Amino acid sequence: MTSAAPPTEEEAALALLRWYADMGVDEATAPASSDFYAFKKTAPPAPVPGPPRAAATPAFAAEQDRPSTDEAAAEAGRIAAGCATFEDLEAAVAAFEGCPLKTGAKNTVFADGVPGADLLVIGEAPGRDEDRIGKPFVGRAGQLLDRMLAAIGRSRTENTLISNVIYWRPPGNRTPTQAETAVCRPFVDRLIELTAPKAVMIAGGAPLQALLGVTGIMRARGVWREIETAGGARVPALPIFHPAFLLRQPANKRLAWADLQALQGRLDQD
Ligand code: URA
């Protein structure tokens, strides 16, 4: 009996890719998140003796040219401070090149809803659907968010503005790094200042950490806090479970409902 010829390298690679796709792995991401800002801080590698090496690819050269997190955040702060309207800020975020996540994203996802609304919802970061469409909270979690808001008489078409602490989709929907949230934060602060809402609803643990430096949504949810912006505005903020978490753990909707009612009570005051 003759045994089949071993697959060529190409066939083996294709078979592996097909297997990944069957397993639901349909995107290429690094196993660990990279701090692209660190390229600037790292000393260049010592020259390797031997034949001359190829020049850096344009992509790597661009990474080396990137500003540090502090520099990018400072630039974001200068730009955000110069924005006098929601439209200015939206255009400024779309033009900003200081966040490396932008490189891998299809769209900038800034905000959706009513500028100047008295309720501002701030979530984590765009996912696949949001990246494709260019609006926050449009996937399954977004649909649940819309239903949660509707339960307290709120909607993005009438009286609510929805945004995130990050404006570009992190690869593979990983949690944004502290460096990424630090760079976007001046824009988030300016959005809060320009909106001047009666209350901010903080949707989930990542924005809780980014906006207030607090970890642990399980304990923090339902407890009113205050966000202080770079420009000195102080706005009441209520952390609440992220709708994606509620999709996975629907038993917690009971607690989310209590939080939504507390939010409505605050919004209905005077
Ligand atoms: N989850 C978020 O936190 N934000 C979105 O825009 C979508 C999903």
Q: In the chain, pLDDT over 90 holds for what percent of residues? A: 75
Segment 3-22 shows an average pLDDT of 73
- Cα(149) to ligand 1 centroid in Å equals 15
What pLDDT, on a 0 to 100 scale, did the predictor assign at position 15?
Answer: 77
What pLDDT, on a 0 to 100 scale, did the predictor assign at position 120?
Answer: 98
What pLDDT, on a 0 to 100 scale, did the predictor assign at position 7?
Answer: 80
DSSP β-bridge partners for residue 201:
121, 238
- Cα(69) to ligand 1 centroid in Å equals 23
The answer to whether residue 125 sits within a structural domain is yes
The answer to whether residue 31 sits within a structural domain is no
DSSP state of 35: -
CATH number at residue 242: 3.40.470.10
The answer to whether residue 29 sits within a structural domain is no
pLDDT band at 49 (very low <50, low <70, confident <90, very high): low
What pLDDT, on a 0 to 100 scale, did the predictor assign at position 91?
Answer: 98
**Closest approach atom of ligand 1 to CA 162:** 6
Is 151's pLDDT higher than 90?
yes
- Cα(159) to ligand 1 centroid in Å equals 19
Higher pLDDT residue, 63 or 269? 269
Is 2's pLDDT higher than 80?
no
Higher pLDDT residue, 203 or 59? 203
The answer to whether residue 83 sits within a structural domain is yes
Tokens, residue 261: 């009612």
Nearest one of 77, 82, 129, 87 to 110, comparing CA atoms: 87
Is 30's pLDDT higher than 70?
no
Radius of gyration (C-alpha) of the chain in whole angstroms: 22
Helices then strands, counting H and E runs in the chain, come out as 13, 6
Helix (H, G, I), strand (E, B) or coil at 69: helix
Overall domain count for the chain:
1
Model confidence over 113-133: pLDDT tens digits? 999 999 999 999 999 999 999
DSSP β-bridge partners for residue 200:
120, 237
What pLDDT, on a 0 to 100 scale, did the predictor assign at position 32?
Answer: 44
pLDDT band at 51 (very low <50, low <70, confident <90, very high): low
Q: Which residues contact 187 (CB under 8 A, 6 or more apart)?
A: 76, 79, 80, 89, 92, 93, 96, 167
Chain centre to alpha carbon of residue 27: 18
- Cα(190) to ligand 1 centroid in Å equals 19
DSSP state of 201: E
What pLDDT, on a 0 to 100 scale, did the predictor assign at position 18?
Answer: 73
Q: What does the alpha-carbon distance between residue 176 and residue 166 come to, in Å, rounded to a whole number?
A: 8
* Of 2-11, 152-161, 206-215, the least confident: 2-11
The answer to whether residue 258 sits within a structural domain is yes
Q: Angle 143-229-159 (CA atoms, 0-180°, nearest 5)?
A: 35
Is 58's pLDDT higher than 60?
no
Sheet hosting strand 111-113, strand order edge to edge? 111-113, 160-164, 119-123, 199-203, 234-240, 225-228
Going by alpha carbons, the residue nearest to atom 7 of ligand 1 is 137
Q: What does the alpha-carbon distance between residue 93 and residue 129 come to, in Å, rounded to a whole number?
A: 19
- Cα(136) to ligand 1 centroid in Å equals 6
Tokens, residue 257: 């409902």
Q: What does the alpha-carbon distance between residue 124 and residue 142 come to, in Å, rounded to a whole number?
A: 12
**Closest approach atom of ligand 1 to CA 207:** 3
Question: What are the angstrom distances between the C-alpha of 138 and each of 5, 125, 130, 131?
Answer: 49, 12, 6, 10
The answer to whether residue 72 sits within a structural domain is yes
The answer to whether residue 32 sits within a structural domain is no
- Cα(51) to ligand 1 centroid in Å equals 49
Is 179's pLDDT higher than 90?
yes
What pLDDT, on a 0 to 100 scale, did the predictor assign at position 16?
Answer: 74
Q: Which residues line ligand 1 (CB under 6 A)?
A: 123-127, 130, 136-137, 141-142, 164, 244
Q: Which of 130, 135, 247 to mutate to test the pocket of ligand 1 (most atoms within 8 A of CB)?
A: 130
Is 60's pLDDT higher than 70?
no
- Cα(49) to ligand 1 centroid in Å equals 49
- Cα(237) to ligand 1 centroid in Å equals 18
**Domain ranges, residue 163:** 67-268
**Closest approach atom of ligand 1 to CA 124:** 3
Q: What does the alpha-carbon distance between residue 72 and residue 182 come to, in Å, rounded to a whole number?
A: 9
**Closest approach atom of ligand 1 to CA 203:** 3
What pLDDT, on a 0 to 100 scale, did the predictor assign at position 137?
Answer: 98
Mean pLDDT (the chain) is 88
**What's this model's pTM, rounded to 2 decimal places?**
0.80
**Closest approach atom of ligand 1 to CA 243:** 1
**Closest approach atom of ligand 1 to CA 141:** 8
What pLDDT, on a 0 to 100 scale, did the predictor assign at position 10?
Answer: 80
What pLDDT, on a 0 to 100 scale, did the predictor assign at position 13?
Answer: 79
Higher pLDDT residue, 256 or 25? 256
The answer to whether residue 33 sits within a structural domain is no
